[in-house]
Chains A and B, each alone.
Chain A
Amino acid sequence: MRVWASTLGGFARSRLVRRVLRDYELGLMSYGDVEKVLLEASSAVIGVQVASGLAYVNDGMLDWHDIFRPFVESWRNVTPTGLLRFFDNNFFYRIPRFTGLPEPSRLVWAPRVRKFAPIAEPSGFKVVLPGPVTFALMSSNESGYSLEELSEAIAKLLAGEARAAVEAGASMVQIDEPTLADPEASRDSAVLAAELSSRIASASGPAKTLLALYFDVPRADVYEELLNSKVQCLSLDLIDAPERALKLLASKGFGGHCAVLGLVNSRAVHDDPIDRLSSIAEEALKDYGGEEAGLTTSTWLDLIPYDYSVRKARILGLLAEKLAYSRAWELVWRAG
């Protein structure tokens, strides 16, 4: 089994990035100057990931104020409004308010992919999209359309994003649906998320596609529906509640998807105990028959300080090496 690793998403901002974004907001710096700093800072976090041996890397999404914002700012009929807590974090996102079905003004990812994918070599470049159901559920829907219609319209634009990103050189498209891991998520939402993530996956051409669930463990009935998604890979947070996650996997497995395990705790700053994580991974993959498995962080890396986000990427790389080595050794031993 091939083991690869990739952080789940954005990095924390370095002191320099925080400062230039603040100066830009205060009108003390032009966006051109900010872009230069962002290019250097993004290249640095890409370098960290590549050097850590991660197979798919991202640009850190350093200029994103939250997962929805760049899309909200690139679409018509939606605006960022008041703050609301983002799941159980001491972090707030701005609630998107839809006053009609969204229409694109510009692409978010394709220009970034063109800029950063060449820097990412030999690793593949990953783009991250907010899942359409999470997007709709966490927005204020004043569009006059139903939640389902709004989700479908969002999915259509996100599929366009995925298609353009892959054409520009992206190797992986990740679709984040954290609301589906919430214990109150409905089965209907899961059915919709499976359908819409499948549409985005089919627009992603040859790129690997991943449906990411984090911050908690989905209920079994919700997870069962999500297994119908046509994405190639499925990631689960195995750290927030390991027992529940392992129980879910023992009963439902990965449904033929490539397994991606959220093992490195990206909401804590202590060094992750590699041996313990390895045994959780072994347990999660016990009955897994796939040819490859991915390792990832429990969520994005932007909820911890910058230094630690860099360190966590390195820990993830170490964990992947350890696991790949132990699996390889097992195969040699069995063959012998």
Chain B
Amino acid sequence: MAGYTIPTKFPTTIVGSYPKMPQAEEAIKRRKSGEIGEEEFLELVKPAVREVVNDYLWAGVDIISDGEQARDDMVVYFAERLKGYGRGDWVRVFDNVYFKKPIVTGKVEWLRPMILDHWEYATSINMGRPVKAIITGPYTMVEWSFDIHYGDRRELVLDLARVIRRELEELVRRGAKYVQVDEPALSTRPWREDAELLKEALDIVFKGLDAKRIVHICFGRLERVMPYILDYPVDQFDLEMKNSNFRLLPYLKEYGYNKELGFGVVDVHTHQVESVKEIEEAIDKLMKMDIVGPEKTYIKPDCGLKRQQRETARLKLKNMVEAAKKAREKW
């Protein structure tokens, strides 16, 4: 990227989502009520994207995102913009927090770009930093939807993979250098057949795509499928580590992990801001295990920061960037 050089060691990045800005909240509400259309909606969310990008720049994050400000939910947002999905209903995620779980009612098809507009906007105000293009993966879309049309999970996953491929092609054509597919659902069904199904889907999504290909997976028992995912057609696995106390590291070591690693050092489920020292220690832990070197390690939060207060998210990122800087001197 012109004007900005990504550090060769421990580049810092984010997983994608960021606390929702009031402008975005308001725009989502107005679009849901039918008061505004898609075009006006996207325009109204842009000031929120700007705020997020400013926070990333303030914290010093190297590879940023649009903060997913337009997305009320990682599945619902796409379901509302694809052919084949019907309106869903509220299902609990935790405590008294819900999401509107969509329902597949017909053959899924891509209609128009879904994340391009805000990716382009973030790219225009990024001070040269690369902006990741981030999209929910086909496996997670299926797992977190209801299906009353296909009745065949594999067929639906692969159809959605084609849809996502279409979206990413558009982004790469416009210059995206980092494309990330979020597949948090894999760790919820950590079975060999599911891991193999996702591999088949990622082959469709990523094959021949001229960009850094990343898959993000978080929480759950990923160690169960570790042997079956390491040959996924990706350059980088972006993994949650901090929340599970780095439990996955010995497994990465055991299986001879050799791709780039998105290393989660910030817990997104706690409001406590990790100290610089705490994050440095996490990086030290990884380095001492000699799994991947500093050049292949991307320092980032476990997952999206959307459930944090904005100020907490800012401070978490600031400390993360500071710790990465210190680690560069050390390793």
Contacts and interface: CB of A to CB of B under 8 A. Distances in A.
Nearest to B90: A305
Interface in A174-231: 184
B165 to A, nearest CB: 24
Contacts of B117: none
Contacts of A15: 90
Contacts, number: 71
B107 to A, nearest CB: 17
Nearest to A93: B94
Interface string A295-313: 0000000111111100000
Interface string A14-33: 01001001100100000000
Interface string A90-102: 1111100000000
A13 B188 contact: no
B219 A84 contact: yes
Interface in B277-317: none
B92 A91 contact: yes
Contacts of A106: none
A65 interface: yes
Nearest to A267: B146
B148 A269 contact: yes
A29 to B, nearest CB: 13
A308 B92 contact: no
B188 A85 contact: yes
A12 B269 contact: no
Nearest to B185: A90
Given A21-B96, A90-B143, A90-B144, A304 B91 contact: yes
User: Which residue, of A13, A22, A90, A92, has the highest number of chain B Cβ atoms within 10 A?
Assistant: A90
A1 interface: no
B187 A85 contact: yes
A83 interface: yes
Contacts of A36: none
Contact of B89 (A22, A87, A90, A307): A307
B226 to A, nearest CB: 14
Interface size grouping (class) on chain B = 20 to 34
A303 B98 CA distance: 11
B291 to A, nearest CB: 24
Contacts of A21: 96
A45 to B, nearest CB: 15
A187 B90 CA distance: 38
Given A22-B96, A268-B146, A82 B243 contact: yes
A265 to B, nearest CB: 11
B129 interface: no
B220 interface: yes
A83 B92 contact: no
Contacts of A90: 91, 93, 99, 101, 143-144, 185, 188
Contact of A82 (B93, B103, B148, B270): B270
Interface centre among B95, B99, B188, B220 (most CB of A within 10 A): B95
B325 interface: no
Interface in A262-311: 268-270, 302-308
A91 B93 contact: yes
Nearest to A92: B94
A109 B270 CA distance: 31
A42 to B, nearest CB: 16
Given A83-B94, A269-B148, A308-B89, A89 B269 contact: no
Interface in A57-103: 65-66, 82-85, 87-94
Contacts of A88: 188-189, 220
A90 B269 CA distance: 15
B93 A92 contact: yes
Interface in A141-175: none
A307 B188 CA distance: 25
Contact of A91 (B94, B96, B187, B224): B94
B188 A89 contact: yes
Given A82-B270, A88-B189, A90-B188, A18 B96 contact: yes
B142 to A, nearest CB: 11
Interface in B188-247: 188-189, 219-220, 224, 243
Given A85-B187, A85-B219, A307-B89, A65 B96 contact: yes
B99 to A, nearest CB: 8
A18 B220 contact: no
A305 B91 CA distance: 5
A305 B93 contact: no
Given A18-B98, A91-B94, 11 more contacts: A13-B96, A65-B94, A85-B187, A85-B188, A90-B188, A91-B93, A268-B147, A270-B147, A302-B92, A303-B91, A305-B89
13 contacts: A15-B90, A65-B94, A83-B269, A90-B99, A90-B101, A90-B143, A90-B185, A269-B148, A270-B151, A302-B92, A303-B92, A306-B89, A306-B90
